[in-house]
């Protein structure tokens, strides 16, 4: 009896092979046949060394014969199962990681299918992006608005001499002429109307081409287009390398390619739809947050709203915990501090930092070198005088009148210190020195 196995190299047909264990069982059967016909009596009675064999009981001999037959049958079934497993193709409804399917393909075909998957994923990203833009543009069209880019262009003004504006008349081929004789021609209104008209035309141009782009990528990633593309890739590869493979090997590769495409589509298309769903949910949350904020501001106490605006003016952006937030420094005992205490909800909008009161704190400048000159000593003194005047009228300075004498004294001491310690260093050195002197007071 001969058994066949698939050629692992993908060669033609099957190669007859005899399993060693099966061959041994066959020899055992032939040996029994010879014994039944009276052959090999010496072999039955004596060993290879010429010694007499131990006679076995009939029951023991029958048991050994049965075991030999069972071993031969088991080996035959194992070989058949291996052949069936090697020739079995992947089920169409079974999901397997695409990388496993790729690894079973020929290296040249594997490269082709891997590139197809990459291009297919890019096309799906285009579908998602164009779908989001399409939904956004449709809302703009339904509301009758103009995109931000075109709205900015349509609102641009043009400066005309006043004398010409008074006598300007419409240019018939380029603009609409007023319907009635009583209507006065306004060149600025005509210019704005013309720009708006062109903005709407440009917007319509963008929207129509965007709709076509969406339809193109949706058709390109559709089932029929994908199958046609893969068939073309397969036939091209087959024309180049098909002669190196057997017909059975080509059939298996073709089935695996089709299954690979099926699995990739089942895996990537839901990802794209999930991205669109997440984006829609995020937009809904943003709209809900805006509505909630508007409602909250409308119901807010006027004093709380004023305090919120004042805090926003003084807020600076900082990075805290990996996120950008607005921080406000509030002096203890000030009106803003009292408002923050009165309306604790304000601290949900800002990172409020409470500091002790400092009579010399001011927010008149962020760059001292713009107030302190660094050219000559007399200009430095003059700038200190201007600085002292600004301190007297500082907008956020606490108790200005009661601290006026202290500020005058501070100004005099500052001038004396500058005169006593001033050194004629180069320009840049003086700038650094003056910066340090001024920052001491803050």
pLDDT at 402: 63
Query: Do 311 and 164 touch, CB atoms closer than 8 A?
Result: no
**Of 283, 234, 277, 264, whose CA–CA distance to 123 is shortest?**
264
pLDDT for residue 294: 72
Confidence of residue 166 (pLDDT cuts 50, 70, 90): confident
Percent of the chain past pLDDT 70, that is, above it, reads: 59
Whole-structure pTM value? 0.51
Tens digits of residue pLDDT in 211-220: 999 999 999 9
> Is the distance from CB of 120 to CB of 272 less than 8 angstroms?
no
Which pLDDT score, from 0 to 100, does residue 8 have?
Answer: 41
- Encoding tokens for residue 147? 């995109």
Query: What would the pLDDT profile of 387-405 be if each residue is shown by its tens digit?
Result: 666 666 655 555 656 666 7
Mean pLDDT of 237-264: 90
pLDDT of residue 72: 83
Provide mean pLDDT across the span 14-39. 48
| Residue 277 banded pLDDT, cuts 50, 70, 90 | very high
| Confidence at residue 326, expressed as pLDDT on a 0 to 100 scale | 78
* Distance, CA of 434 to CA of 419 (rounded, Å): 12
pLDDT of residue 169: 87
For residue 221, the 8-state DSSP code is T
Mean pLDDT score of the chain: 73
Where residue 376 falls among pLDDT bands split at 50, 70, 90?
Answer: low
DSSP letter string, 219-272: HHTSHHHHHHHHHHHHHHHHHHHGGGS-HHHHHHHHHHHHHHHHHHHHHHHHHH
C-alpha to C-alpha distance for 331 and 337, rounded to whole angstroms: 6
How many separate helices (H) and strands (E) can be counted in the chain?
Answer: 15, 5
The residue-averaged pLDDT of 31-42 equals 50
What gap in Å lies between CA 395 and CA 388, rounded to an integer?
14
Q: Where are the domains of the chain?
A: 3-87, 100-285, 302-355, 368-439
> Looking at the predicted structure, is the pLDDT value of residue 382 above 80?
no
> Which residue would you say has higher pLDDT here, 372 or 118?
118
* Cα–Cα distance for residue pair 408/389, rounded to 1 Å: 9
Q: Report the pLDDT value the prediction gives residue 129, as an integer from 0 to 100.
A: 94
Mean pLDDT of 221-249: 92
Measured CA angle at 408 (ends 402, 410), to 5 deg: 105
Give 303-326 pLDDT, tens digit per residue. Answer: 666 677 667 777 777 777 777 777
pLDDT at 16 over 80: no
- Which residues are within 8 A (CB) of 408 and not within 5 positions of it... i.e. 6 or more apart? 388
Q: Which residue(s) pair with 319 in the sheet? A: 324
CB contact burial 366-400 (16+ within 10 A = b; e otherwise)? eebeeebbbeeeeebeebbeebbeebeebeebbee
**Across-strand partners of 323?**
320
**Among positive and negative, which fits the CA dihedral 135, 138, 143, 144?**
positive
């Amino acid at each position: 009896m001969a058994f066949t196995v698939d050629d692992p190299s993908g060669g033609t047909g099957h190669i007859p092979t005899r399993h060693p264990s099966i061959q041994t069982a066959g020899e055992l059967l032939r040996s029994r046949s010879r014994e039944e016909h009276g052959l090999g009596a010496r072999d039955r009675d004596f060993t290879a060394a010429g010694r007499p064999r131990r006679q076995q009981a009939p029951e023991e001999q029958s048991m050994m014969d049965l075991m030999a037959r069972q071993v031969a049958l088991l080996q035959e079934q194992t070989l058949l199962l291996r052949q069936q497993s090697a020739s079995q193709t992947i089920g169409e409804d079974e999901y397997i990681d695409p990388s496993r399917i790729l690894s079973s393909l020929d290296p040249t075909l594997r490269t082709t299918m891997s590139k197809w998957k990459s291009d297919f994923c890019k096309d799906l990203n285009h579908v998602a992006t164009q779908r989001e833009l399409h939904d956004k543009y449709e809302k703009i069209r339904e509301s009758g608005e103009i995109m931000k880019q075109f709205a900015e262009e349509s609102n641009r003004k043009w400066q005309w001499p006043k004398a010409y504006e008074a006598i300007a008349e419409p240019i018939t081929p380029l603009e609409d002429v007023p319907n009635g004789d009583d209507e006065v021609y306004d060149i600025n209104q005509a210019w704005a109307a013309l720009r708006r008209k062109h903005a709407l035309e440009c917007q319509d141009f963008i929207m129509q081409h965007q709709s076509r782009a969406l339809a193109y990528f949706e058709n390109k990633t559709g089932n029929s287009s994908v199958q046609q593309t893969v068939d073309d890739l397969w036939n091209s590869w087959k024309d180049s390398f098909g002669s190196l493979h057997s017909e059975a090997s080509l059939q298996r590769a073709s089935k695996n390619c089709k299954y690979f495409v099926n699995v990739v589509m089942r895996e990537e298309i839901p990802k794209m739809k999930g991205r669109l769903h997440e984006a829609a949910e995020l937009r809904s949350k943003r709209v809900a947050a805006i509505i909630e904020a508007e409602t909250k501001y409308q119901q807010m106490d006027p004093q709380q709203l004023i305090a919120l605006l004042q805090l926003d003016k003084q807020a600076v952006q900082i990075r805290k915990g990996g996120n950008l937030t607005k921080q406000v420094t509030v002096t203890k005992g000030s009106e803003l501090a009292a408002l923050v205490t009165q309306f604790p909800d304000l601290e949900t909008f800002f990172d409020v930092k409470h500091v002790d009161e400092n009579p010399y704190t001011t927010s008149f400048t962020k760059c001292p070198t713009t107030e302190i000159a660094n050219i000559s000593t007399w200009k430095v003194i003059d700038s200190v005088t201007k600085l002292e005047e600004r301190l007297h009228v500082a907008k956020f300075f606490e108790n200005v009148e009661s601290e006026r004498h202290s500020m005058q004294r501070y100004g005099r001491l500052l001038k004396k210190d500058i005169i006593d310690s001033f050194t004629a260093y180069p320009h840049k050195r003086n700038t650094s020195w003056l910066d340090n002197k001024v920052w001491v007071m803050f």
